[in-house]
Chains A and B, each alone.
Chain A
Amino acid sequence: MPVKVMIPSPLRPYAGKRDSAEFTARTVGEALGHLTTEFGELRKHLFTEDGKLRSFVNVYVNDEDIRYLAKENTPTKDGDTISIIPSIAGGTREQCVLGFVSDNGIGS
């Protein structure tokens, strides 16, 4: 049984509108690598140009923050759920940050 990666709404447009994807992976980094290989447009939203996970993207394995585990080297086992948790401002009319816009709705 593979690892399930949960894709948050703001990133779904870059992931074929999928809400999750499953991969066989031994670490979080490996699973995210598979994810961004399958959905190339996601890469720049999750990783910096030198391949580091962006500082405002929080990643959890089950309910634990990987920053307090082994970061991207955190091992995963079959059946684990990896969640990408972006910051939501719930924002103003036109504010559009990491895809999160507003409580007001339409971005532009």
Chain B
Amino acid sequence: MATTVQPQTGAKPAASLSNEEILRYSRHLIMPEVGMEGQLKLKNAKVLLIGTGGLGAPLGLYLAAAGVGKLGLVDFDVVDFTNLQRQVTFGTSDVGKPKSEAARARLANLNPDIQIQSFETQLTSANALELFKDFDVIVDGTDNFPTRYLVNDACILLGKPNVYGSIFRFEGQATVFGMPDGPCYRCLYPEPPPPGLVPSCAEGGVLGVLPGIVGSIQAMETIKLILGRGENLVGRLLLFDALGMKFRELKLRKNPNCPVCGAHPTITKLIDYYEFCGVRGEEAPGPTVQVPEITPRELKARLNRGDDLFILDVREPHEYQICNLKGHLLPLGDLTRRVHELDSSREIVAHCRSGKRSAEAVDFLRKAGFRKILNLKGGILAWSDEVDPSVPKY
């Protein structure tokens, strides 16, 4: 059954389209499922995008193109070169600009008839309710657990739909939370996994097309909610496996004991989501373990001096191909099994990309009895910054 969203009251709703708008939206208008009535619903709709990155790119482009009358863009980040592989709203000339503003400019060029508001701010418990209240639909295109729970709880407290999408490597998930009688994110995952449970971060990455597909699914669900047409993903978790090119779906049930959307909620206002998720600071937890370190400059000086140092590279083979310091490659995940390859009598300097995985390697090896072992502080990234800029950063 189709579920529709009620537009927020405020300004008087538009009752007609200009001739230019009729021409622009003609391929919508000639579809009976949209028609003039549907296009006016889109024109009067207000959608807030949390995140203008990988998922936010197709979301912003398609919702602006479709004529959603007001788009809000929340992002505090700045465009960098590694974004361009998938965040197709941005061009090379946008690198260094705030994402919310770069996206606003791109979408305004795509559709000058709509209102676009950029919020160059981090979504927090202090500003979420105020930001959300003027919008009909909230679309979650964020990239971290604290913000996911924050968006969910704020949507439940305000009674707003939350169009959810997330991605990992070749896999994506999408659904619609926060509808009356439908489940919320906490019904699915009452609590986040503790950080650091999984030691290796080596298997990250995402194929650039994947957020394009998942974000497009979110855009489609948003438009269906506005039009009140079709069957939306309420109560269904759509799983997409790009490698196998398979879609599956799982049933999502509303948890009657859900702490936020259940019959007797225990969470009735926004909380500290970083604390809730066990993440301190802004976004990235620092190295999980404290180990003896050497800076890139110290390492360079010692190598120049001819010191006998064994360079241990704990990254993955495909990363070694990108760039390396001619070290001995032994991926962190294989360390336990291949520790016999290392000579504990020699002085070892372990490194990875940023210094985090190698800190874990050093910690492990120290516990295994290695005494003369140091972690290269800041990894290959710092080496490139401080010693040899010819080494590419990735």
Contact = CB atoms under 8 A, between A and B. Distances in A.
B198 A99 contact: yes
B323 interface: no
Contacts of A9: 168-171, 203
Contacts of B379: 108
Contacts of A70: none
Contact of A108 (B166, B170, B201): B201
A81 to B, nearest CB: 9
Interface stretch (B21-29, B41-49, B352-360): B352-360
Contact of B142 (A44, A87, A90, A105): A90
Contacts, number: 164
A88 B203 contact: no
Nearest to A17: B203
Interface in A42-71: 44-45, 54-56, 58, 60, 63-65, 68
Contacts of A93: 283-284
A102 interface: yes
A46 to B, nearest CB: 11
B394 A106 contact: yes
Chain A interface SS verdict (over half): loop
B9 to A, nearest CB: 33
Chain B interface SS verdict (over half): loop
Contacts of B253: 65, 68
Interface residues of B, number: 61
B250 A95 contact: no
A56 B357 contact: no
A25 interface: no
Given A13-B200, A56-B189, A96-B196, A63 B205 contact: no
B249 A10 contact: no
A90 B394 contact: no
Interface string B153-189: 0000000000001111111010000000000000011
B145 A89 contact: yes
B204 interface: yes
B193 A86 contact: yes
A38 to B, nearest CB: 17
B6 interface: no
Interface in A71-108: 83, 85-108
Interface of B: 53-55, 82-83, 86, 142-145, 148, 165-171, 173, 188-198, 200-206, 211, 237, 239, 248-253, 277, 279, 283-285, 319, 333, 352-357, 379, 394
**Pairs of residues from A and B, 3 with the lowest C-beta to C-beta distance, nearest first:** A107-B201, A108-B356, A101-B204
